[in-house]
Amino acid sequence: MRYPKKKAPNPMLQIHKMKHYGYEFTWQSGKNQSFTILIKLRPKEASQTYQVKISFGIGQIPKAFVTSPQLKRGSPHTYPDGSLCLYHPDDFNWTDDKALADWIVPWIAAWLFFYEGWLETGIWYGEEAPHDRSK
């Protein structure tokens, strides 16, 4: 039996969608058909601007990191490597044909919105699913 070769993520699809939504971003290609997008996001009008790095490649789940300003130590819904926990893997299956601008970027903006609320109140008001932070 022959298995289909994994298709590389299409950077042009990602760039087109990001431009379509009017995001302020830059991107660069890396090794082994991997890509990095640097995007600026403000979850609400009164918010500061966050710089976020999204890394992805063939068959890889995109990882998002807030690069500035630095997140408060012990921030909820982050993994040990500092990446953001945007969704529970049982609830969503990333495939390389999906557009970051349709899925991941809105979830990052929502994460930032709830993060700001957590900074003010100590309560995370976003939806939560129990999961192991060590993964």
Q: 90: which 2 tokens?
A: 């049982």
Residue 131: what pLDDT?
54
Predicted TM-score of the model (pTM): 0.86
Distance between alpha carbon 70 and the CA centroid of its chain, in Å? 16
Report the distance separating Cα 4 and Cα 65, nearest Å: 31
Q: How confident is the model at residue 2 (pLDDT cuts 50, 70, 90)?
A: low
Residue-wise pLDDT for 32-62, tens only, equals: 778 899 999 999 999 999 999 999 887 789 9
66 exposure class (CB count in 10 Å sphere: 0-12, 13-18, 19+):
buried
Distance from the first to the final alpha carbon of the chain: 33
- Tell me what the mean pLDDT of segment 62-80 comes to: 95
Residue-wise pLDDT for 92-127, tens only, equals: 888 888 899 999 999 999 999 999 999 999 999 998
